[in-house]
Structure 1
């Protein structure tokens, strides 16, 4: 049941106009401006995507195209073999145009695996194509009108969706229903069965996925051992750590979660001895594992009601620096595996606030600085390893998580921006003291990218789906995604 106040607030966000060509343009008024600020205009050539529209037998029945146009997306749809009249049309949460369980009837239905309507604003409410995403699903689109020949066509602009950012629809699905949409009844406007489905894909970028086992893997950390030619990734939910062969994609269990109290594996790093370092999250621990997975040490940080050991940075002198996302301290593990509080951040420009603070961290190759990302502010910081002086490099990296320097170009920094669904490229000055955002790459659709590592000239990023860790249904298999450094 909708509250009257919610409906009134929704109405304030609506603005519909018809262009001279009869194309419906969907706009946000001032109440939706905050949503639009989360979307990112393309840096160069506008992003484009397509969806091949399939029927229940998997036959091609049309095409949809999507083109980023500033903060909106231009959409065209043509679908065949439908009954004349109007049909509800929505973007659904997953990429899977396969049968799946409909929770309303608890039985398999065509295209049920596409999941519920895409709802990044967490509105939990079906509404019109002009409602702000706080009030209705972002996936609520205009209807498809089908002529007597069984062909449906639609052309419109929507600023509820994007090909990048928090409202990104890449690697999700476009669903056409059998009936009209009443734009008010939850969950899908009484629009009936799902009769067509197409996965929204970007064709101008090449990636490779490494599927991972398990239904609660939630891969947060990733690291690469150049000596052994092996990737490591760790589960935020279970603490298990896996190896992945970067050539074959073969996955093996390296260290089972729960061993020696490790219930979570966040940031991972590999040192010069091929030892694997593991940030233990809320356990407040740093684990060091031998190349065979046997524990070398479990280092405990000082007792606290709210620890959150997030990431680690091996430095040139053999030390490892560690971020705590809730306690304003950077820890240091010496080469002889002694842990100490290295820097009290309370006396620096870095100010801790609610949520996740410092997380991703790395040491520059010249041994002079640490770079670290503050997720809740979007600020990137530089810390002098000799003087401990702190300098803000740049801001604006909303939801910045893990960071990675290009191994062949230390002036290029990559930032995984989890909820924003992109990897950002930052050009650093020679002393890493300033930075400029130069590109933002959603690849083929990232699901909460958390950390990155380099494999030769490529980058591997985790699709952690940590937004589904406490609720919701994650897409499986979980995966790492590899792409050419850009």
Structure 2
């Protein structure tokens, strides 16, 4: 899976964009349009510490004060408005961005746990219909949990009373713009299902195909990495497999699937038939999360609830390989070991403990365990490129770059990259000089996700 085919034209384009982006400050722009699509202003956003500096210029509005908010979705299209339950202009932008899950409209200075993160100061419009605003807000950011990239800024018809739900009695949505990252190009692969929640991803270089699986229903899609065409590789529920988490492709072109709470590892043929379903020992709380092919011919599997690493040998026999309770790794409430990779020399496993933010090295020969580094809060899937480790940090909505020592026993966090806006990134795969990350939105399961679900391809940074 990790030996990949370079798609020259796309990769060069993404690489050039990545190089340009590295010399620019983290910033974004929104082009403001009226419901007819006419451009009537713009807004700029520049990261400043933990907050963002916002500048808005707009014309063609009635004189006076106008409510202004960041909305959940990056869509300036008609849609159902929460205040009226009718189709309204820019209703596709959804409700107010609410990272603190406050469910409450409030003052622009209220902490996000009390009020929407999208609550902004009002815009004052002069007699000439021109409005300008310049302010800094710490309720929003261009990166992290409060990230507003690929969301929308909306200007309303009336003043905001800063208290009435859902939008401060600010009336119709009159201007809207999608907040787009400056200086960085990515490519999105859209998925067709309304409940896909793509968690795992793997790349088959021989076919030029990406595989991704649903954490909600287990459906596995095949995506042509060049054209973006999507087809169903295997329907969810095949042989009782309801969940598809971590994925990997072996040298025979078989797809391996971690089955989450079902406690299984499934092996699928290159044409999508189930060859084998391997069951881990029965227990109240299994959670088979991720897996990796090793040069020794074995597949190593993490379980996020049970302190054990499983191994599947070439005969497709599954066994408990390492009892983690006898190592420095201590399981705690929540999601424990998750992402797993093997070093190029075949000597070590690197595993991510999500709830502690700790990265661990495990010697495949001696089973000795060593902590590599901490601080990778909400670290999920891993991708190892030589001695550079990329970490998808789901709730933090960034991909982190870690530089590792020659023996993989220590490392340093180099960069945290929000790309063009991420929604709970879970796992990574490599295509030549590009990477692909799933936007899993697992925090939206049981709620309202942003559709279409997508995977995002970007140049290595």
Q: TM-score range by the shorter chain?
A: over 0.9
1:348 Cα shift? 1.0
1:103 Cα shift? 3.7
Report SS of the residue matched to 1:170. coil
What is aligned with 1:474? 449
Q: Say whether 1:485 aligns with 2:460.
A: yes
What is aligned with 1:420? 396
CA distance in 2, matches of 1:351, 1:56: 55
Q: Say whether 1:386 aligns with 2:380.
A: no
Report SS of the residue matched to 1:113. helix
CA distance in 1, matches of 2:380, 2:23: 24
- One of 440, 450, 453 as aligned partner of 1:464: 440
What is aligned with 2:302? 323
Q: Say whether 1:121 aligns with 2:86.
A: no
Q: Say whether 1:397 aligns with 2:373.
A: no
1:317 Cα shift? 1.2
TM-score (norm 1): 0.89
Q: Say whether 1:168 aligns with 2:147.
A: yes
Report SS of the residue matched to 2:376. coil
Q: Say whether 1:139 aligns with 2:115.
A: no
Q: Structure 2 regions of 5+ residues with no counterpart? A: 1-20
CA distance in 2, matches of 1:245, 1:79: 42
Residues 44 and 354 of structure 1, relative CA distance in 2, 3 Å threshold: farther
Number of residue pairs the alignment of both structures matches: 441
What is aligned with 1:411? 387
1:69 Cα shift? 1.1
1:46 Cα shift? 2.8
Q: Which of structures 1 and 2 has the larger relative contact order (alpha carbons within 8 angstroms, sep 6+)?
A: 2
CA distance in 1, matches of 2:94, 2:357: 31
**Is the 1:206–1:483 Cα contact (8 Å) retained in structure 2?**
yes
Q: CA RMSD in A?
A: 1.1
What is aligned with 1:370? 349
1:43 Cα shift? 9.5
Q: Structure 1 regions of 5+ residues with no counterpart? A: 1-41
- One of 286, 291, 299 as aligned partner of 1:312: 291
Deviation string, structure 1 residues 90-132 (Cα, Å, up to 9, x no partner): 0000000000012443221110010111111111111111111
Report SS of the residue matched to 2:239. helix
CA distance in 1, matches of 2:371, 2:437: 25
TM-score (norm 2): 0.94
CA distance in 1, matches of 2:51, 2:191: 34
Report SS of the residue matched to 1:183. coil
**Is the 1:120–1:137 Cα contact (8 Å) retained in structure 2?**
yes
1:352 Cα shift? 0.8
Superposition pairs of residues 63-462 of structure 1, within 5 angstroms: 63-406=42-385, 410-462=386-438
1:193 Cα shift? 1.1
CA distance in 2, matches of 1:104, 1:122: 18
1:44 Cα shift? 7.5
CA distance in 1, matches of 2:162, 2:214: 39
* 4+ residue segments displaced more than 4 Å: 42-45
Report SS of the residue matched to 1:425. strand
Residues 318 and 420 of structure 1, relative CA distance in 2, 3 Å threshold: same
What is aligned with 2:3? none
